[in-house]
Amino acid sequence: DFRSRLKVFVDSNRWKIQGKGHSIRQKGIDLKIQPIGDQFQIVANGITGKQNFGDVILAKAAAFTLIDNGKMGDFLSKRKSKN
């Protein structure tokens, strides 16, 4: 179910930690969670999201949700086709 897949994703040892940032490749998307001040942002295939999150776990959970429901893939496809 969604909740168990979310937990596996957030806790995955595939996350690489670089300074305070975290990165992973999921479903063909290069994903980074990067610090911005005391908040965190999602970066997908080099595109920085507009929403800030209070901690890394919340950002990872939001990224997983967007990947799982297909919205991130759709956004990245549309963005790619504009270029």
Provide, rounded to the nearest whole percent, the portion of the chain with pLDDT above 70: 99
| Cβ–Cβ under 8 Å, residues 15 and 22 | yes
- Look at residue 35 and tell me whether its pLDDT is greater than 90: yes
Query: What value does the mean pLDDT take over residues 63-78?
Result: 95
- Look at residue 19 and tell me whether its pLDDT is greater than 90: no
- Look at residue 41 and tell me whether its pLDDT is greater than 90: yes
pTM: 0.91
What distance in Å separates the CA atoms of residue 45 and residue 61, rounded to the nearest whole number?
17
- Look at residue 79 and tell me whether its pLDDT is greater than 90: no
Q: Which residues contact 62 (CB under 8 A, 6 or more apart)?
A: 42, 51, 53
Q: Give 83's pLDDT tier (boundaries 50, 70, 90).
A: low
